[in-house]
A and B are shown apart, each in its own frame.
Chain A
Amino acid sequence: KAGVTQTPRYLIKTRGQQVTLSCSPISGHRSVSWYQQTPGQGLQFLFEYFSETQRNKGNFPGRFSGRQFSNSRSEMNVSTLELGDSALYLCASSWNAKETQYFGPGTRLLVL
Chain B
Amino acid sequence: QKEVEQNSGPLSVPEGAIASLNCTYSDRGSQSFFWYRQYSGKSPELIMFIYSNGDKEDGRFTAQLNKASQYVSLLIRDSQPSDSATYLCAVRYSGGSNYKLTFGKGTLLTVNP
A residues with CB within 8 A of B:
33, 35, 41-45, 48, 55-56, 58, 88, 90, 97-98, 100-106
Contact = CB atoms under 8 A, between A and B. Distances in A.
Contacts of A48: 99-100
Interface of B: 34, 36, 42-46, 49, 88, 92, 94, 97-106
Contacts of B43: 88, 90, 103-106
5 contacts: A42-B88, A42-B106, A55-B97, A56-B100, A103-B43
B104 A42 contact: yes
A35 B103 CA distance: 10
B64 to A, nearest CB: 19
Contacts of A103: 36, 43-45
A52 to B, nearest CB: 15
Nearest to A42: B105
B95 to A, nearest CB: 11
Of B88, B94, B97, most A-chain CB atoms within 10 Å = B97
